[in-house]
């Protein structure tokens, strides 16, 4: 459904900055009806790819086909089947909920009873039905996001692009948003490409692609990506991560990955994890706050693939596995 071939994008340089390559010879295909998650650390090229896909930037090279239409040759045909949920709001917050939906309907050529029916359909799952007359800037963050989604669903897109759509939502609103998205996506067998850096959101995706420095580092089903990592990860939370990392590699010949204040050992044979944990614990007990064995989640795959120091452990990464 979405075919990205040999896509490159280089931002023009300025007097102070040399040109910067954001995407390098990227190939990626999303099959029809799939829910695909595109992830990667900040600055990996996700947003650039997103801007190209929704036609707001023209790539340096390569091609994008959506539902058989070449994006650069026939942007209008692509726009007709595309729904886009941006990271920042794309509604007029000074107007009412219903007014925004009406404008959006007109932009997609919907009018009269057809527009009204589509509006009902798009609002069915939402909590917005009693808020049609309210101004958008009176909505809570969660409801405002629902409006963005409802607006896009109203035009029945065959392909839906979402750019970190849950940014700024509390965990329950986020869950709610994703549940609705996934349900509608299945019901309509819509093709969805969503960027995110919250890995718990990717666990039930059909396909996950991980991008770094404009290159695709890994792609596959969440299951396959987890298998790539082996079975378990030893996670250590030391008093002094740098010092312990040095000692682990010097004294035990291990190669710990540093991730925020944690050290991770993820290239361990499955049968050896418990023995390793005991060995570390007996030797370095005073240095360690906690140590655990963890079933790999996608986030661990991501940390492994992108080299650990790509992302800092910030508040955004809510859903750590157990």
Partner 1 sequence: MGVVISLAWREYTRFIRQPHRVIGSIGQPLLFWLFLGSGFTGSFRPPGMEGVTYLEFFYPGVLMMMLLFASIFSSITIIEDRDQGFLQGVLVAPVPRMAIVLGKVAGGTAIAMLQSLLFLLIAPFVGISLAPASLAMVIPILILTSVGFTSLGFLLAWGMRSTAGFHAVMMIFLMPLWMLSGALFPITHVPGWMHWIMLANPVSHALTLLRLPFHAMPGQVVGDPEFAVSLAVVLAWALGCLYLSMLRVRRVERGVPVSSSN
Binding residues for partner 1, per CB under 8 A?
Answer: 6, 8-13, 19, 22, 24-25, 51, 54-61, 76, 79-80, 82, 84, 86, 88-95, 99, 102-104, 106-109, 111, 151
DSSP H/E element including 38: strand 35-39
Q: How far is the CB of 104 from partner 1 (least distance, A)?
A: 7
- Choose between 80 and 283: whose C-beta lies nearer to partner 1: 80
Q: How far is the CB of 308 from partner 1 (least distance, A)?
A: 28
Angle between helices 97-107 and 141-154 (to 10 degrees): 30
- Choose between 74 and 206: whose C-beta lies nearer to partner 1: 74
Long-range residue pairs from 276-285, CB within 8 A, at least 24 positions apart, any chain? 276/234, 277/234, 279/252, 280/234, 280/236, 280/248, 280/252, 283/251, 283/252, 284/238, 284/244, 284/247
- Choose between 61 and 171: whose C-beta lies nearer to partner 1: 61
| 301 vs 209: CA distance, rounded Å | 11
Q: How far is the CB of 114 from partner 1 (least distance, A)?
A: 12
- Choose between 26 and 178: whose C-beta lies nearer to partner 1: 26
Side by side, the strands of the sheet bearing 20-30 are 20-30, 2-11, 61-66, 69-70
- Choose between 62 and 256: whose C-beta lies nearer to partner 1: 62
Q: How far is the CB of 105 from partner 1 (least distance, A)?
A: 9
Give SS3 for 131: helix
Q: How far is the CB of 238 from partner 1 (least distance, A)?
A: 43
């Amino acid at each position: 459904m979405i075919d990205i071939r040999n896509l490159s994008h280089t931002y023009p340089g300025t007097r102070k900055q040399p040109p910067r390559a954001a995407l390098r010879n990227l190939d990626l295909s999303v099959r029809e009806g799939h829910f695909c998650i595109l992830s990667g650390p900040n600055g990996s090229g996700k947003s650039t790819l997103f801007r190209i896909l929704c036609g707001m930037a023209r790539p340096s090279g390569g091609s994008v086909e959506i539902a058989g239409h070449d994006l650069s040759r026939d942007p209008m045909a692509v726009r007709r089947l595309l729904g886009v949920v941006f990271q920042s709001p794309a509604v007029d917050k000074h107007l009412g909920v219903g007014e925004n939906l009406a404008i959006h309907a007109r932009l997609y050529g919907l009018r009269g009873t057809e527009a009204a029916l589509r509006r009902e359909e798009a609002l069915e799952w939402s909590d917005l039905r009693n808020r049609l007359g309210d101004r958008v800037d009176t909505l809570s963050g969660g409801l405002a996001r629902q409006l963005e989604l409802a607006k896009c669903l109203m035009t029945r897109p065959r392909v839906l692009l979402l750019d970190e759509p849950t940014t700024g939502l509390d965990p329950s609103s986020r869950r709610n948003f994703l549940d609705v998205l996934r349900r509608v996506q299945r019901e309509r067998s819509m093709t969805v490409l969503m960027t995110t850096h919250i890995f718990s959101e990717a666990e039930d995706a059909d396909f996950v692609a991980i991008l770094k420095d404009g290159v695709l580092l890994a792609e596959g089903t969440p299951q396959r990506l987890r298998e790539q990592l082996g079975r378990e990860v030893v996670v250590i939370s030391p008093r002094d991560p740098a010092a312990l990392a040095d000692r682990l590699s010097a004294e035990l010949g291990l190669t710990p990955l540093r991730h925020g204040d944690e050290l991770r050992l993820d290239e361990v044979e499955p049968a050896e994890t418990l023995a390793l944990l005991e060995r570390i614990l007996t030797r370095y007990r005073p240095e360690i706050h906690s140590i655990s064995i963890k079933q790999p989640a996608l986030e661990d795959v991501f940390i492994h693939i992108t080299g650990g120091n790509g992302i800092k452990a910030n508040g955004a990464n809510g859903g750590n596995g157990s």
